[in-house]
Amino acid sequence: MDPADFYTGIVAELYGPLKSFSQNPEPYAAFIRQAGVPALELGCGDGDPLLDLRRRGLDVDGVDSSADMLGRLRRRADQQGIRATVFHQRMEALELPRRYRAVFLAGPTFTLLPDDATALAALRGIRAHLAEGGTALVPLFTPAPTPAEQIGRVRTAAAPDGAELRVSVVAEQRDEAARTQTTLLRYERHHGPDSTVEERPWVMHWYPWDQFEKLATAAGLAVTAVTDADGKPARADDTGVLHFRLQAG
């Protein structure tokens, strides 16, 4: 399936109940206050942390490739009395009505772009939507292989209607040359005699520091800083999530 359509259907339905953590909004609020508004969250999903940032009075729009996830976001916004402007577009094909002082991804969602060509198109879209003097924040990481003992292990949760929800890793392939890891996930929903089971490939594509910098330069962006999870200057051999700050080159 098209990687941009991964978070649709049963995956979008199970996303909230099976989510293992929510992004801390504080680092992104601090980034927006430093870079300025308006701000844009790429890959905003079902609203974390965008809704919290809007609750704080920050002018933040969102964009996501999944109409189903945006539907969840809008329902959550209505329930919480929050106004949010979001767009159903792919990250690599942005065409939005305004430009932004701050463009960011909350977590390493950029790794869901399947290859360097798609990543370059996304970076060019970021460049086109940055206001003069604006800054982009792109977190990146190299995914680790799923441990063998976790293959087949099932995580469960309960849906509001009482259905049992399950997700498990069925298989995984890793291509070091292409820098991709494809994890086959099984999603299940069981409610009395009714069951839905679907398997989907989840593709992650990672970037060595120098390769990402080349892509950014080709898109007209300059890497101005790279920090680790604690906000300290990162080293090329650091593991974990690295935060790349970009400005117009």
Tens digit of each residue's pLDDT (9 = 90 or more) over 198-228: 999 999 999 999 999 999 999 999 999 999 9
Whole-angstrom distance, CA of residue 227 vs CA of residue 44: 22
Contact by Cβ (8 Å): 172, 146: yes
Domain 3-142+206-248 classification at class level: alpha beta
Tens digit of each residue's pLDDT (9 = 90 or more) over 161-199: 999 999 999 999 999 999 999 999 999 999 999 999 999
Domain boundaries along the sequence of the chain: 3-142+206-248, 148-204
Which residues have C-beta within 8 Å of that of residue 80, sequence separation ≥ 6? 51, 55
Global pTM value: 0.95
What single string gives the DSSP state of each residue in 139-164?
EE--PPPPPGGGBTPEEEEE-TTS-E
pLDDT number for residue 222: 98
